[in-house]
């Protein structure tokens, strides 16, 4: 789900109607196209007699339908809100209300597949609902409990380390999304309150060299960096990190910088598409709305 937690992806109450209308328009357009083609061939081969004006009218209708259909595809709903499995888009636009349930099902299947493997495995699971207020469904409530239940069912509890973090990006404030909620900057806070999204390049980024080290057992909020004086292993850790970084840098081929506003502007031609561009509309998760396992 590369870019789905942005505002246009909120389920718009008109979306279902919009999608249904689009499907109908496409169907009507295909029918008119076939009819116009058949009539033209029939007329040219003198098998049937129809006035050219009727064929012209049909062609105009096709143009009009195409225009109405195409213009709905300029909405960022289609371009930005996609659900992917591996490298394939399975929903475009994503249906936010059921995305959470689909992801839980994937997580459960992953556990079931992985327990047959030798050795450890890692599941990284981002609950969509942790970051921003999303609509939920009755099925989704209690799904974190369900993931824990699977760990228990498969007898993995005593060998599983669960690390829960409350967010997964540097997005700190969305005052417009929840009525009455206003985030204010607490004194001494270091989050990206002014820019909302933490930036990756430019003047607003602080580079730490050597990197800051924290002991997460003692200081989970990362408020006090370790120093040479407070941590006997400080020098060893810093040099280990530096060596690993150098090793890693040697292994990568330099490419042109891909971050920053210069290169990152919107280009529709580069957006993900699950159909034939620009008709990007698919729903391969259909029928999976009610996929939750019962948690008894």
Ligand X SMILES: *[C@@H]1O[C@H](CO)[C@@H](O)[C@H](O)[C@H]1NC(C)=O
Contacts of 105 (CB under 8 A, 6+ apart): 288, 291, 292, 293
74 binds ligand X (CB under 6 A): no
The binder of ligand X chosen from 194, 256, 262, 266 (CB under 6 A): 194
CA gap 135, 83 in Å, rounded: 16
Q: How far apart are CA 225 and CA 212, in angstroms?
A: 6
Closer Cβ to ligand X, 153 or 288, answer by number? 153
Which residue's CB is nearer to ligand X, number 60 or number 259?
259
Q: Which residue, 13 or 188, has its beta carbon nearer to ligand X?
A: 188
Residue 195 makes contact with ligand X by CB under 6 A: yes
Could you tell me which residues are beta bridge partners of residue 282?
92
Among residues 218, 248, 250, 267, the one that binds ligand X under rule CB under 6 A: 218
Of 136 and 196, nearer to ligand X (C-beta) is 196
Contact between 10 and 96 (Cβ < 8 Å): yes
Query: Binder to ligand X among 203, 248, 250, 265 (CB under 6 A)?
Result: 203
Phi, then psi, of 13 in degrees rounded to 5? -55, -25
Looking at 7, 16, 167, 235, which residue binds ligand X (CB under 6 A)? 235
Question: Which stretch, 102-110, 176-184, 227-235, 268-276, contacts ligand X (CB under 6 A)?
Answer: 227-235
294 binds ligand X (CB under 6 A): no
Tokens of 130: 């942790």
Q: 11 — alpha (psi -120 to 50), left (phi > 0) or beta?
A: beta
233 binds ligand X (CB under 6 A): yes
**Least CB distance to ligand X at residue 119 (A):** 18
Angstrom distance (rounded) from CA 48 to CA 175:
65
Q: Which of 240, 198, 233, 241 is nearest to 215 (CA)?
A: 233
Are 296 and 150 contacting, i.e. CB atoms less than 8 angstroms apart? no
- Which one, 203 or 250, has the nearer CB to ligand X? 203
According to the binding rule CB under 6 A, does residue 222 interact with ligand X?
Answer: no
Q: How big is the site for ligand X, counted in residues (CB under 6 A)?
A: 15
Work out the end-to-end distance of the chain between its first and last CA atoms, rounded to an integer number of angstroms: 30
* Smallest separation (angstroms) from ligand X to the CB of 194: 3
Contact by Cβ (8 Å): 19, 281: yes
Q: Which of residues 217 and 253 has its CB atom nearest to ligand X in the complex?
A: 217
Shortest reach from residue 118's CB to ligand X, in Å: 18
Nearest Cα neighbor of 107 from 49, 154, 55, 63 is: 154
Residue with Cβ nearer ligand X (50 or 245): 245
Tell me the per-residue interface mask from 140 to 179 with ligand X, x by CB under 6 A, - otherwise. Answer: ---------------x--x---------------------
Beta strands (DSSP E) in 93-158 are none
Q: Give CA–CA dist 231/225, Å, rounded.
A: 10
Which residues in this chain contact ligand X in the complex, by CB under 6 A?
155, 158, 194-195, 199, 202-204, 215, 217-218, 228, 231, 233, 235
């Amino acid at each position: 789900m590369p870019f789905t937690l942005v505002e246009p992806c909120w389920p718009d109450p008109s979306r279902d109607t919009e999608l249904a209308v689009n499907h109908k328009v496409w169907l009507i357009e295909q029918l008119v196209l076939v009819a116009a083609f058949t009539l033209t061939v029939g007329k040219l081969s003198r098998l049937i007699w129809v006035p050219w004006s009727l064929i012209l009218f049909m062609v105009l209708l096709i143009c009009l339908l195409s225009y109405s259909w195409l213009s709905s595809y300029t909405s960022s709903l289609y371009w930005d809100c996609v659900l992917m499995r591996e490298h394939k888009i399975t929903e475009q636009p994503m249906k936010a209300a059921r995305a959470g349930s689909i992801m839980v099902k994937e997580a459960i299947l992953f556990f079931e597949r992985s327990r047959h493997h030798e050795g450890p495995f890692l599941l990284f699971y981002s609950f969509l609902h942790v970051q921003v207020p999303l609509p939920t469904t009755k099925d989704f409530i209690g799904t974190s409990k369900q993931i824990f239940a699977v760990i228990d069912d498969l007898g993995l509890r005593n060998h599983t380390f669960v690390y829960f973090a409350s967010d997964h990006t540097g997005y700190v404030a969305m005052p417009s999304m929840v009525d009455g909620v206003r985030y204010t900057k607490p004194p001494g806070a270091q989050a990206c309150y002014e820019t909302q999204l933490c930036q990756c390049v430019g003047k607003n980024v602080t580079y730490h060299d050597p990197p800051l080290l924290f002991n997460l057992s003692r200081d989970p909020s990362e408020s006090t960096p370790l120093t040479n004086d407070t941590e006997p292993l400080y020098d060893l850790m810093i040099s280990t990190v530096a060596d690993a970084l150098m090793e890693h840098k040697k292994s990568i081929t330099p490419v042109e910088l891909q971050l920053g506003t210069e290169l990152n502007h919107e280009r529709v031609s580069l957006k993900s598409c699950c159909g034939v561009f620009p008709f990007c509309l698919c729903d391969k998760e259909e029928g999976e709305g009610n996929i939750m396992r019962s948690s008894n």
